[in-house]
Structure 1
Amino acid sequence: MPTLRAAVLKIGTVNWELDTITRNGFDKANGFELQVQPYADNGATRVALEGGEVDMAVADWIWVARQRAAGKDYVFIPYSKAVGGVVVPKDSPAQTLQDLKGKKIGIAGGPVDKSWLILRAYGEKEYGFDLADETEQVFGAPPLVFKTALNGETDAAINFWHFLAKMKAAGMRELISVSTASTALGLNPDIPLLGYVLKESYLAENPQMAHALYQASRNAKELLAEDDSAWEPLRDQMNVKSEAQFETLRQDFRAGIPAPGNVAVDDAATFYSLMVRLGGSKLVGEATELPTGLFANVE
């Protein structure tokens, strides 16, 4: 039985799925043994993948496309479509993005964060202005954006989905989701942005692994989607401070489960074109078009 060594962020939400896979034996049922190796940050997981210390890491496919265009043989297996959005204090008068003109927005992920770029594009299309020009942005790590928003130091916040879930549990309200903005822009909001990244060279030696990993992932997703009790073993690593946080995280994780099947390449290409236009080389490097072979066949 082949071993799949997975590099993950020690506190990453992907651990909830991987823990469910190993706890329920979904890896062995699909013909492999999953070994999870935690790392302190995402950069370390990617170095471990590149150096051959592990066989798999987690990333969004925009990053994978950039690496593939640079000559690395990385491929992407879909994991989650969970994305962020904009939240504001519950008593904020803001009802649309237009109401954020002149306001301060806390943003996790930096100036080329995918959620921020999509929301900028949505603002241009719907209201004719660029959020980057009409607001003050405060970029920071997700916990900092979380804290400053709850303390009222910013008027709105864009954060990673699991921090947003906790912010909503604390009483903040969503002004608009990235999913809604994507739909308005003619994008497919169901494209899974996050996924498992493996090397083609590894898959050449283990040709069954793409399907096996994907199937184990689907087995875990189906259990977590349908069985509330499957979440109880995960409670400690979810780092929740209240039942409201626990419920909101579970609800939003379930909302991020993509439909089964391969990534729709044409829809991904449309999405990628927008990222190229808005993010430029800082985001995509030299990969101005979607590289062929980016998405593994998992069916």
Structure 2
Amino acid sequence: MRSTVVLGAFLALLATCATAFSETPVLRIAVLKFGTVNWELDTIKHHQLDTARGFDLEVNGVAGGAAAKIALQGGEADIIVSDWLWVARQRAAGKDFVFLPYSKSVGGLLVSGDSPAKSLADIKGGRIGIAGGPLDKSWLILNAYTMKTHGFDLAGSTEQVFGAPPLIYKTALAGDLDGAINFWHFAAKMKAGGMRELVSVAQAAESLGLDPDMPLLGYVFDGALLRDNPDLVQGFAQASRAAKDILARDDAEWDRLRELMKAKTDAQFEALKAGFRQGIPAPGPVDETSARRMFDLVVELTGEELVGKAKALPDGVFVHFGS
């Protein structure tokens, strides 16, 4: 009889635990398998910043940005990482996505360490490698900057070589390009490999009257999640900020992440760490006045190619509680 009572109590305890576990909401995030956002997400999981705020973060790696967007739109993911210009395009098309800032890191146009180029005017007639395609935001901003400061069309005065970030990285380091624009973490590795920045996107943006601290990349999720579960979304925002705070101040945390970062040299490791830290946006909501200025410039430069039917920044793009 006693064994039956003990067994019954044990099974009741298991049931209680299972119920408690099943009641913990799960947030599924789909991100590039080797993207830099994994450093922040790993920090969240390692320090249990998610469970401390009442949710379980489930990280799923995907092969590319398009796959992540398909997962979000198909209900297979709750969160992805993208830029707010994509969110604006989706909202203009009637889709209810919203944006929470993640990073303000941007790259620039790099040249080899022994290049004689002193400004973008010296790149005329050369070959520029560009990661992200002809509608890459860094490329668009640098092209507009060149027109304003040097009076010529960079796109019409150079040969562009578009390719995946690793290809642009390798080609540039091999000396086969006169200049290269790459995602910030590849740019950091290129600098560590001896290349130098001719002009940064932040510098170009400021010259164009844009806010150089505008976070372009962020966490994107369905607006219904924010309306139906505001505490859950705020918990995620708080976990993200707590992870950023750890990464901003704790060098030991970066030592723990080094294998995940795939840094091949100490120089690469330090450049990646510094680049991530520089890209941490200030807490609080996005400055929508600055966002409108950037959006208007993008509309002017690309028409419908990048932002679709939107002629002005749609309402509701940005999450408004403090992050």
1:31 aligns with 2:54: yes
Distance in 1 of aligned mates of 2:287 and 2:154: 30
Contact 2:105 2:279 in 1 (8 A): yes
Q: Deviations over 1:237-264 (max 9, x none)?
A: 2111111000000001101011110001
Equivalent in 3, 7, 16 of residue 39 of structure 2: 16
Q: TM-score, with normalisation over the residues of structure 1?
A: 0.98
Amino acid at match of 1:53: E
Distance in 2 of aligned mates of 1:30 and 1:129: 52
Distance in 1 of aligned mates of 2:136 and 2:45: 32
Distance in 1 of aligned mates of 2:257 and 2:245: 16
1:202 aligns with 2:225: yes
Contact 1:165 1:249 in 2 (8 A): yes
Residue in structure 2 matched with residue 288 of structure 1 by the alignment: 311
1:40 aligns with 2:76: no
1:2 aligns with 2:36: no
Contact 1:225 1:254 in 2 (8 A): yes
Contact 1:106 1:139 in 2 (8 A): yes
Partner-residue secondary structure (3-state), 1:26: coil
Residue in structure 2 matched with residue 186 of structure 1 by the alignment: 209
Equivalent in 137, 140, 143 of residue 163 of structure 2: 140
Contact 2:130 2:182 in 1 (8 A): yes
Which runs of no fewer than 5 residues in structure 1 stay unpaired? Answer: none
Distance in 2 of aligned mates of 1:270 and 1:154: 32
How large is the RMSD of aligned CA atoms in angstroms?
Answer: 0.9
1:247 aligns with 2:270: yes
1:219 aligns with 2:242: yes
Spell out structure 1 runs of 4+ moving beyond 3 A: none
Contact 1:210 1:298 in 2 (8 A): no
Q: Deviations over 1:166-186 (max 9, x none)?
A: 000000001111001111111
Which runs of no fewer than 5 residues in structure 2 stay unpaired? Answer: 1-23
1:205 deviates by: 2.4
1:234 deviates by: 1.4
Contact 1:5 1:56 in 2 (8 A): yes
Equivalent in 257, 260, 264 of residue 237 of structure 1: 260
Distance in 1 of aligned mates of 2:54 and 2:214: 28
1:42 deviates by: 1.2
1:65 aligns with 2:88: yes
Q: TM-score, with normalisation over the residues of structure 2?
A: 0.91
Q: Deviations over 1:60-114 (max 9, x none)?
A: 0011111111111100000000011010000000011111111110011111100
Residue in structure 2 matched with residue 264 of structure 1 by the alignment: 287
1:94 aligns with 2:102: no
| Mean Cα deviation higher: 234-243 or 114-123 | 234-243
1:215 deviates by: 1.2
Distance in 1 of aligned mates of 2:170 and 2:321: 39
Contact 2:225 2:233 in 1 (8 A): no
1:80 aligns with 2:103: yes
1:108 aligns with 2:131: yes
Partner-residue secondary structure (3-state), 1:190: coil
Report 1 or 2 for greater relative contact order, CA contacts < 8 Å, sequence distance ≥ 6. 1
Distance in 1 of aligned mates of 2:119 and 2:49: 44
Residue in structure 2 matched with residue 54 of structure 1 by the alignment: 77
Partner-residue secondary structure (3-state), 2:99: strand
Amino acid at match of 1:207: P
Q: Deviations over 1:34-82 (max 9, x none)?
A: 1111111111111111111111111000111111111111000000000
1:271 deviates by: 0.5
Q: Count how many residue pairs are aligned between Structure 1 and Structure 2.
A: 299
Amino acid at match of 1:156: G
